[in-house]
Chains A and B, each alone.
Chain A
C-alpha cells in the first residue's frame, strides 16, 4: 500500500486522528527542526518551537485549505514561530552571538585553506550570511521550494525572491573570496 499523502494526513488530523499526526510528525519534524534551528541557533529553543509548530498543525488542520503544499504551510508556521521567538529579548542577541562565534571560526583563512574542501568552505560561508540571505538559500537549495512557495513563506513578491537569492549568492561569493575561495562569479 502506498504512503498516505500529506494532504490526506491533514484531513485525518482534522478529525482528531493521532496516528496521522504521528506519521506527519515523523515525515517532517527533522526538516522543520533544521529550518527553525538555522534561524534561532539554539537546539533547545528549536525543539520547543517544533512542538509549537506541530501543535498549530494539530489545532489548525481543519482550516488547511490546500492553497500550498503541507510542507510549505508548516515551514510558514515555523518561520512565524521562529521570528516571534527571536523578537523576544531572551533570544534577540543569540543570533548575533552565535554568528560572531561562527564568523570568528571562519575568519581563520589558514585553517580553512588547510581543509581544501570547497563544500566545507561554502558551508561556513553560508553561515556568515545574514539571516535573510541564509534563509532564502536554504529554502531554495535544501527545502527545494519553488519561487511561488518561497514568496508565500517569506511574504515577498516572486520577483523579489529571485533578486534576493541573487544578492544572497553574490554576498556568498564575496565572503568566499574573503576566505580564499575565488569562485569567478559574478
Chain B
C-alpha cells in the first residue's frame, strides 16, 4: 500500500461527473481511473453520468442562441459608454498596459508575466524597459549607440495586434524598438545591424506592410538617425 489516502467507494463515485467532463486534477483522476478499472458498479454509474451529461448538453444546445439584435443592442450601448479615443492614443495604451509601472492599471500579474516573457524572447525587453514614464509623452529619441547601424524605420502598430504578434514580427525582421511612442503614435525601429541598400529597404517595407494585422503604417526614416 502506498502512502496515498485510500478513498472509499462513494468518495470516488462523487468524483465521477468531473472525471467524465475531464475536470479532475491528475492525482484524483488517476485514483478514479484505477477504481473504475476493477469496479463494475462504478462503471455502470459512469455510464449513467455520461447519459446525464449528454442530456444536459443537448438541453442547453436546444436553447439556441441570442438574437443578432441582442449583440447589436449591446455594442450600441457599449459605444455610447466607452470614452472617445483617437487611434493614436490607443497605440500608446496598447503598449503601456502590458508593461508594469508604465500605467497604474490593475492588470493580472499572470498576463503581465506572459507578455514580458514574450517580449524578452523577441529581444526587445531591454529597449522597452529603458523607457520612463516622465519621458513617455515626449517621444524619447534614443541617442545613436556607438557601433550600431541598421536601417531605421517608423511604424505604427495596429491597436488590435497582440504582443506575441508584434514580438514575432520584430524577431522575424531582426528589428528592435529604439524609440516611441513618437508624436502620432509612431515607433522607431532599428532593423538589422548594417545599412541597407535601397532595394533591401524597399523589400523590408513590403514585408512590413504585408503584415497588415500588426503594422498599420511603415516608412523608412529619411532624416538623420
Contact = CB atoms under 8 A, between A and B. Distances in A.
A and B: interacting chains: yes
B56 A50 contact: no
A66 B65 contact: no
Contacts, number: 173
Given A15-B94, A17-B159, A142 B44 contact: no
Contacts of A123: 55-56, 58-59, 62
B70 A64 contact: no
B94 A17 contact: yes
A131 to B, nearest CB: 14
A142 B63 CA distance: 12
Interface string B90-126: 1001101110000001111111001100000000000
A122 B15 CA distance: 21
A17 B160 contact: yes
B160 A137 contact: no
A22 interface: yes
A118 B51 contact: yes
Given A14-B106, A119-B51, A140 B18 contact: yes
Interface stretch (A28-36, A79-87, A91-99): A28-36
A169 to B, nearest CB: 7
A29 B51 contact: no
Contact of A16 (B14, B67, B90, B114): B90
Contact of B14 (A19, A54, A119, A166): A166
Q: Is the interface of B mostly helix, strand, loop or mixed?
A: helix
A11 B111 contact: yes
Contact of B78 (A21, A47, A65): A21
Interface stretch (B79-87, B178-186, B201-209): B79-87
Nearest to A159: B14
Interface residues of B, number: 63
Given A162-B14, A165-B17, A185-B45, A22 B75 contact: yes
B66 interface: yes
A157 interface: no
A25 B74 contact: yes
Kindly name the residue among B56, B69, B78, B81 whose own CB sees the greatest number of chain A CB atoms within 10 A.
B56
Interface string B156-186: 0001101111000000000000000000000
Contacts of B59: 123, 126-127, 138, 142
A54 B56 contact: no
Size band of the interface chain A makes with B: 35 or more
B57 to A, nearest CB: 5
A177 to B, nearest CB: 13
Contact of A169 (B52, B77, B82, B115): B52
A146 B78 contact: no
Contact of B67 (A47, A55, A120, A147): A47
Given A47-B70, A138-B60, A144-B21, A8 B52 contact: no
Given A119-B54, A142-B56, A19 B108 contact: no
15 contacts: A1-B165, A7-B108, A8-B163, A11-B107, A14-B107, A15-B96, A25-B75, A118-B51, A125-B55, A127-B59, A137-B52, A141-B56, A142-B60, A144-B22, A147-B23
Interface of A: 1, 4, 7-8, 10-12, 14-22, 25, 29-30, 33-34, 37-38, 43, 46-47, 50-51, 54-55, 58-59, 62-66, 118-120, 122-123, 125-127, 137-138, 140-142, 144-147, 162-163, 165-166, 169, 172, 183-185
Question: What 7 pairs between A and B have smallest CB-CB spacing?
Answer: A122-B55, A66-B108, A141-B56, A47-B70, A141-B53, A146-B23, A51-B74
